Amino acid sequence: MTTISTTNPWFTCPLPNPQAPLRLFCLPYAGGSALNFRSWVNQLPTTIEVCPIELPGRGLRLQEPAFDQLQPLVQAIGEALLPTLDRPFILFGHSMGGLICFEFARWLRRQGARSPIHLLISGRRAPQIAATMPLRYNLPEPEFLAALHRLNGTPQAILEHPELMKLLLPTLRADFSVVETSVYTPEPPLDCPITVFGGWDDPETSLVGLQAWRVQTQQSFRLELLPGDHFFLHSAQSQLLTLIRQILSPTLKAL
């Protein structure tokens, strides 16, 4: 089995586990990084190798320009991940990461490559549902910062740190552009189960938008709602990981 390379900038596996029968690739929200998933390795079974993806423009790749368009980003992720898809794998993505996971699964199908055995989509409406919010990626800086504040995902101490925000703003704008300029192209439903997680008080997603993922799979569909706003990924992390363990338990027994 392929071992995740510690020199590959796309991966930051906190605890490499090449003997694990299942890999879980995790993709972050806009402005997020692989660090968001670092603690997951301690809360999931050792039969799962947790592999957070580090996108350009953050973490150890802060000096690299972030992608601002979805399809080139998906292509780059695909080229980086293909050598590691030698065993069953699952994709998890929150918000922007959820959209990337979905398009990456479709990219793999077009390549005739191995497909994920499950998609875990968190805090993201189905791609065929049109956005109801105005574009934010190109707002003047004060309005853009206000939008970040309303989302409640960037600590206030960082928002009020001019030098740090100067470093982070280009990546944040690029990430918002990835999401807000993406155009959905209809394709047949995926041949893997999809589980969707949502926050009860998330202003970014509606119940209708979450339920609409059902048409994107020929297999089973499951929707789970957790307490919290758009960043329930953090505030309800324990409940989220408990659900993920339950969802993946039958898969692990079958491997």
Give me the amino acid identity at 90.
I
Separation CA 2–CA 87 (nearest Å): 9
DSSP letter string over 177-189?
Answer: HHHHT------PP
Starting at the edge strand found earlier in the chain, the sheet holding 89-94 runs: 48-52, 22-27, 89-94, 118-122, 194-199, 221-226
- What pLDDT, on the 0 to 100 scale, is given for residue 75? 97
Write out the H or E segment, with its range, that includes residue 194: strand 194-199
Separation CA 55–CA 71 (nearest Å): 14
Q: Is there a contact between 153 and 31 (Cβ–Cβ < 8 Å)?
A: yes
> From first to last of its 255 residues, what are the pLDDT tens digits of the chain?
566 656 788 987 778 888 899 999 999 999 999 999 999 999 999 999 999 999 999 988 999 999 999 999 999 999 999 998 999 999 999 999 999 999 999 999 999 999 999 999 999 999 999 887 777 888 888 888 888 878 776 766 666 667 877 888 899 999 999 999 999 999 999 999 999 999 999 988 999 999 999 999 999 999 999 999 999 999 999 999 999 999 999 988 888
Q: Which of 5, 33, 95, 235 is catalytic?
A: 95
- What pLDDT, on the 0 to 100 scale, is given for residue 236? 97
Among candidate residues 207, 27, 30, the one with its CA nearest the CA of residue 136: 30
Give me the amino acid identity at 51.
C
Q: Is there a contact between 113 and 105 (Cβ–Cβ < 8 Å)?
A: no
Q: Is 182 a catalytic residue?
A: no
Fold of the domain spanning 22-254: Rossmann fold (3.40.50)
Distance of CA 186 to the CA centre of its chain: 21
Q: Is there a contact between 94 and 233 (Cβ–Cβ < 8 Å)?
A: yes
- 235: tokens are 């505030």
Q: Is there a contact between 193 and 116 (Cβ–Cβ < 8 Å)?
A: no
CB burial string 107-132: b at 16+ within 10 A, e below: bbbeeeeebbbbbbbbbbbbbebeee
Q: Is there a contact between 133 and 205 (Cβ–Cβ < 8 Å)?
A: no
